[in-house]
C-alpha cells in the first residue's frame, strides 16, 4: 500500500549555530509511511556514526519487511499489530550493530543515539522512542507532546521534585536514561496511536524543544500548516535564532486523508465471526 497520497512529509536538519557538524540523522519514506530521527552522541564524530547507523539499519530492512508483513495485521504471537514487532526487531538490530561497532572500534567506544521512529498504517501510527527525542501532535487546536523523555529531568518531574516550569531552567537537561547502542540490550517504548485527517505529527531532536518553547512550536504548526516545508524550515530557524546551541532536526507528517485498510468481505466476515 502506497501512503504518499495520504501523508505529506517535510523535514529539515541543521547543525545549529554552535556545533561544527551534525550528529542528527533523519530518514523519510512517505510511500511506506516510515519516518526515523536519531540524535547521536559520543566523542569525535562517533555521534553521527551512531545516528546514521540507527536510521539506515532501521529503514533499509523495514522498507522490505513492511511489504511482506502487512503492519496492520495482528501478530499471531501476541495479537499486537505486526508493526510493533517489526519496529522493535529493527531497533534491536540497530542497537546490536551500534553496540558492536562501539566495542570493536576504539574511536567509536561509547557512542550511542536517541531515537524516534513512526510507522503509519490503517489510520494508525506505531511510535517507538528511546531517549529525549520527541514526538508532538497537532490535532485541531491542540498541540501536545506525545512521547515522554527517558531523561533524568523527566524522572525528577515525575517524582514531583520539580515542576515542568522549573525544568526549563534545569542544568540537567541533557542526561538521558536510555539510549540506543550503549548496552547489549535495549528497551524501546512502543505505542500505537490513532491518526485523523488534518493531524500534524512532529518528530524532533532536543535541539528544537530546548531552544523553542512548546507554545511557539505549536503556533508555527498552526499558522504554517498550509505549507509544511516552510513550517519545518521555520522551526529550525527559530531554534537557530534563539541560539541554536545543538543540532536541530524536525520531521513533519501531515495526514491528508483517511488511509484505513480496505478489507475484503472475507476478512470482514472473519472479523465478525471472531
List binders of other proteins among 16-45 (CB under 8 A). 17-19, 21-31, 36, 39, 41-45
Stretch that binds other proteins, among 84-92, 117-125, 222-230, 254-262 (CB under 8 A): 222-230
The per-residue DSSP string of 138-160 comes to EETTEEEE-S---BHHHHHHHTT
Q: Which range in 84-92, 118-126, 193-201, 204-212 contacts other proteins by CB under 8 A?
A: 204-212
239: helix, coil or strand? helix
Label residues 91-114 b or e (16+ Cβ within 10 Å = b): beebbbbbbebbeeeeebeebbbb
Among 2, 64, 67, 172, binds other proteins (CB under 8 A): 172
Say whether residue 215 binds other proteins (CB under 8 A). Answer: yes
- Contact code string over 128-167 relative to other proteins, x by CB under 8 A: ---xx-----------------x-x-xxx-xxxxxx--x-
Query: Measured from the CB of residue 154, what is the shortest distance to other proteins in angstroms?
Result: 8
Pick 73 or 173: Cβ nearer other proteins: 173
CB of 18 to other proteins, least distance (A): 6
What is the per-residue burial (b if ≥16 Cβ within 10 Å, else e) of 210-241? Answer: bbbeeeebbebbeebeeebebbbbbbbbbbbe
Q: Are 246 and 22 spatial neighbours (Cβ–Cβ below 8 Å)?
A: no
Task: Please tell me the distance from the alpha carbon of residue 146 to that of residue 135, in angstroms, as a whole number.
Answer: 5
Instruction: Return the number of the residue (165 or 264) whose C-beta is nearest other proteins.
Output: 165
Amino acid at each position: 500500500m502506497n501512503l504518499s497520497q495520504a501523508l505529506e512529509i517535510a523535514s529539515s536538519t541543521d547543525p545549529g549555530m554552535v556545533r561544527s557538524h551534525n550528529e542528527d540523522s533523519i530518514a523519510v519514506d512517505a510511500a511506506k509511511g516510515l519516518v526515523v530521527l536519531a540524535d547521536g552522541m559520543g566523542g569525535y564524530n562517533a555521534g553521527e556514526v551512531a545516528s546514521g547507523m540507527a536510521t539506515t539499519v532501521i529503514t533499509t530492512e523495514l522498507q522490505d519487511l513492511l511489504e511482506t508483513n502487512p503492519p496492520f495485521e495482528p501478530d499471531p504471537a501476541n495479537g499486537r499489530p505486526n508493526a510493533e514487532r517489526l519496529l522493535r526487531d529493527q531497533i534491536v538490530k540497530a542497537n546490536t550493530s551500534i553496540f558492536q561497532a562501539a566495542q570493536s572500534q576504539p574511536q567509536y567506544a561509547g557512542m550511542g543515539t536517541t531515537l524516534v521512529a513512526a510507522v503509519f498504517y490503517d489510520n494508525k501510527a506505531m511510535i517507538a522512542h528511546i531517549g529525549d527525542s520527541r514526538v508532538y501532535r497537532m490535532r485541531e487546536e491542540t498541540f501536545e507532546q506525545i512521547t515522554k523523555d527517558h531523561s533524568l529531568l523527566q524522572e525528577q518531574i515525575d517524582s514531583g521534585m520539580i515542576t515542568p516550569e522549573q525544568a526549563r531552567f534545569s542544568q540537567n537537561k541533557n542526561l538521558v536514561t536510555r539510549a540506543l547502542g550503549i548496552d547489549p540490550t535495549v528497551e524501546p517504548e512502543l505505542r500505537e496511536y490513532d491518526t485523523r485527517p488534518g493531524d500534524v505529527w512532529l518528530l524532533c531532536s532536543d535541539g528544537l524543544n530546548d531552544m523553542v518553547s512548546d507554545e511557539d512550536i505549536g503556533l508555527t504548526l498552526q499558522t504554517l500548516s498550509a505549507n509544511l516545508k516552510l513550517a519545518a524550515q521555520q522551526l529550525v530557524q527559530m531554534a537557530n535564532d534563539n541560539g541554536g546551541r545543538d543540532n536541530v532536526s524536525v520531521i513533519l507528517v501531515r495526514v491528508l486523508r483517511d488511509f484505513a485498510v480496505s478489507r475484503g468481505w472475507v476478512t470482514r466476515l472473519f472479523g465478525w465471526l471472531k
